[in-house]
Structure 1
Amino acid sequence: MSDVLSIASLFPERLNIHGDAENADVLRVRAQWRGVEARVTTVTSAQDASGLRPDAITIGAGFDADAPEVLAGLRAIEGELKAWVDSGAVLLAVGLGWEMLSRSLEFRGADPLSGIGIFTGRSVASERHVGRISVDSEWGALTGYEYHLRDYVLGEGELPLGSVSSGTGNAATVHDGAARAEGAVRGTAYGTGIRGPVLARNPVFADHVLELAVAHAGLAPASTVPDARLTTADDHAAKANVIVRRALGLSA
């Protein structure tokens, strides 16, 4: 057992078109602000993954044109990825990264590609959806930006991240009988289309992910004593989210 929180960032140079690879650094910095030493390791090959025992794994969004090549890279570390998640490491997957870790993903006019299968749902070709989004979740209102060409159909054992109050989310999936769902949760694996990056925009959710990672590492719980930098970052996020929700016609 290490006394350092280990965070694996998958293919950040290819999957960062909306800053989503920075979710790894959000976890690292928030951990350090709470007195927990943390280290981010970039994983782009089987060699990078060999011997690594991460407590948190992040993967971001990229361009569809890069999907076949990046998916081949993910297949090269498929065994390690599944072992990490099965061990209880927390996974945050955004956009195309989430879709490639699902059971399958479709591109318009082409046959579906088999995904890694950490998520049991599937990504199906849809219309382009772009714009601000707000999602009601157990961590409060999650806000950010959505940009996707695919819908997501929840699979066995999956729950949505939350219900869409404004935006599109997983248009094919309703939640609580009426509202559209957004994202997918399966154990300690979280998939979402919210970009921004989502953890910087939504600190309560970020701290939930961090707590799961700290518990996996077997470290002492992160300090709840406010650090001035943490308080400032959270205040900025709160103000940004108020602006988004007001722009969407929602209560702040």
Structure 2
Amino acid sequence: MSDTSSVLRIVWIYPDLLSTYGDQGNALILRRRAEQRGIRTEILHVHSSDPVPAEGDVYLLGGGEDRPQILAANRLRADGGLKRAAERGAAVLAVCAGYQIVGQSYGDDDDNPLPGVGILDIHSGRGETRAVGEIVADVAPELGGGRITGFENHQGRTTLGPTATPLSRTVAGIGNDGSTEGAYQGQVLGTYLHGPALPRNPQLADLLLRMRVGELPPLPPSWGEALHEERLAAAL
């Protein structure tokens, strides 16, 4: 965690622009799983009119419609706080529209390329068809592996550059391109998974926590694990 505080600071970025699909649930489950292990937390809600602090521990971005996505990308690039945080080693989870705008470029509603924040080596554009429905994917083994599940609703298609690695390989659904889902680079993770992603996949929440606090004691199975198994069974 930060050298200046023993509190894990979770920064929820632009809830006024990027919170269309209930992705704030990612912040809540991250706090819950941290506090179950005795880790004190603080959730900071940073609206689009506010500067993004560079001293947080975990940064979360959610999904949004085309116009709010463009506004969010422009403000994040001009602000620079998220990029500085990523450069100093903060963990980042960016979902759907958030995933696209943390990349090098993304497409507007006419598929014109627009510059992203540039903390993940990906380029996103628009596919011919919309990806809607349950998605299942197997997480990269070096991240701990395991199967994840979520709901996707996007027309994006994402290509990874040489310094980004697929977060997972698709078993069902589209994700980036029908074969991979999401990407990671260092401690920056991106995904198309809604649901929200972390309540449906507690292992992803624990992965983000480990990035900031190191190894974690296990927790007994609870409703999060039960939800994970239920959604996997429903999707396959």
Gapped regions of structure 2 (runs ≥ 5)? none
Cα distance in 2 for partners of 1:186, 1:22 equals: 23
Deviations 1:136-192 (A, max 9, x none): 1133110111111111101121110111011111116xxxxxxx1100010100000
Q: Is the 2:48–2:72 Cα contact (8 Å) retained in structure 1?
A: no
Q: For the structure 1 residues 40 and 171, does the alpha-carbon distance in structure 2 shift closer, same or farther, using more than 3 Å as the test? A: same
Alignment match, 1:142: 148
Please say which of residues 67-76 and 143-152 is displaced more in the overlay.
67-76
Deviation at 1:54, TM superposition (A): 0.6
Question: C-alpha displacement at 1:240, in angstroms?
Answer: 2.6
Q: How many angstroms apart in 2 are the aligned matches of 1:113 and 1:29?
A: 36
Aligned-residue CA RMSD (Å): 1.9
Q: Shift of residue 86 of structure 1?
A: 1.2
Residue 45 of structure 1, CA deviation: 4.8
- If each structure's helix is expressed as a fraction of its own residues, which one has the higher value? 1
Distance of 1:153 and 1:110 partners within structure 2? 14
Q: Residues 203-228 of structure 1, C-alpha deviation per residue, up to 9 Å, x if partnerless?
A: 1121111111224xxxxx55x264xx
Question: Would the alpha carbon gap of residues 48 and 207 (structure 1) be closer, same or farther in structure 2, given more than 3 Å must change?
Answer: same
1:22 to 22, 25, 31: 25
TM-score by length of 2: 0.89
* Residues 102 and 120 in structure 1, CA contact (< 8 A), matched pair in contact too: yes
Q: Provide closer, same or farther for how the CA distance between residues 47 and 146 of structure 1 changes in structure 2, counting only shifts above 3 A.
A: closer
1:15–1:21 CA contact under 8 A, matched in 2: no
Q: For 2:76, give the aligned amino acid.
A: L
Superposed displacement of residue 244, structure 1 = 2.7
Paired position in structure 1 for 2:170 = 164
What does residue 191 of structure 1 align with? Answer: 190
**Does 1:87 find its partner at 2:88?**
yes
Structure 1 residue 66 and structure 2 residue 72: aligned?
A: no
**Greater displacement, 156-165 / 9-18:** 9-18
Q: CA deviation at 1:11?
A: 0.3
Following TM superposition, the consecutive aligned residue runs of length 4 or more in structure 1 with deviations greater than 4 angstroms are none
TM-score normalised according to structure 1 size: 0.84
2:40 and 2:232 mapped to 1: Cα distance? 34
Provide the residue aligned with 1:239 in structure 2: 226
Give ranges in structure 1 of 5+ residues lacking alignment.
173-179, 216-220
Assess if the C-alpha contact under 8 Å between 1:42 and 1:48 holds in 2. no
**1:248 counterpart residue number:** 235
Residue type of the alignment partner of 1:77: D
Match of 1:12 in 2: 15
- Give the match for residue 56 of structure 1: 58
| SS of match in other structure, 1:160 | strand
- The DSSP-based 3-state class of the residue aligned with 1:49 is coil
Q: What is the one-letter code of the residue matched to 1:239?
A: A
Give the whole-Å Cα distance in 2 for the aligned partners of 1:136 and 1:49: 32
2:149 match: secondary structure: strand
The CA deviation at 1:21 is 2.4
Q: 2:47 aligns with which of 44, 47, 51?
A: 44
Which secondary structure state, in structure 2, belongs to the residue aligned with residue 199 of structure 1? helix
After superposition, residues 224-235 of structure 1 pair within 5 angstroms as 224=217, 226=219, 231=220, 234-235=221-222
